[in-house]
Amino acid sequence: MRIRLMGAMIAFTVVLPSSVLAQDGKQAPQKNRASIFDPRDLSGYWDLTNIGRPPDALNETSNHRPPMTAWGLEKFHKTKTAYDAKSLGNGAVPNEKDWNDPVRWCDPTGFPRILWGPTPPEMRFAQAADEVIQFFGNNRVWRDIWTDGRKLPSDDADSRWYGYAVGHWEGDTFVVNSNNFTDTSWLDQYGSPHSDEMTVEERYRRVGHDHLELTLNITDPKTYVGTWKGDKKIFRLAEKPAGSNFNDLPENICAWSETKRPVNP
48-70 residue pLDDT tens: 887 666 666 667 889 899 999 99
Model confidence at 257, pLDDT cuts 50, 70, 90, reads: low
Q: Which helix (H) or strand (E) element contains residue 72?
A: helix 70-76
Tell me what pLDDT residue 120 has: 64
Q: DSSP labels for 147-172? A: -SSPPPPPTTSPPBSS-EEEEEEETT
pTM listed for this prediction: 0.78
pLDDT of 21 reads 37
Phi and psi dihedrals of 213, rounded to 5?
Answer: -100, 135
Per residue in 156-189, pLDDT (tens digit) is 678 999 999 999 999 999 999 999 999 999 999 8
C-alpha closest to that of 102 among 115, 93, 91, 113: 113
- CB-based burial of residue 162 (10 Å sphere; 0-12 exposed, 13-18 middle, 19+ buried)? buried
CATH 2.120.10.30 fits 42-259, yes or no: no
Q: What is the pLDDT of residues 122-150, one digit of tens each?
A: 789 999 999 999 999 887 889 999 999 99
Q: What are the pLDDT digits (tens) for 69-96? A: 999 999 999 988 877 544 444 456 567 7
In 29-68, which ranges are continuous DSSP H helix? 30-33
Question: Is the pLDDT assigned to residue 203 strictly greater than 60?
Answer: yes
Domain definitions of the chain by residue range: 42-259
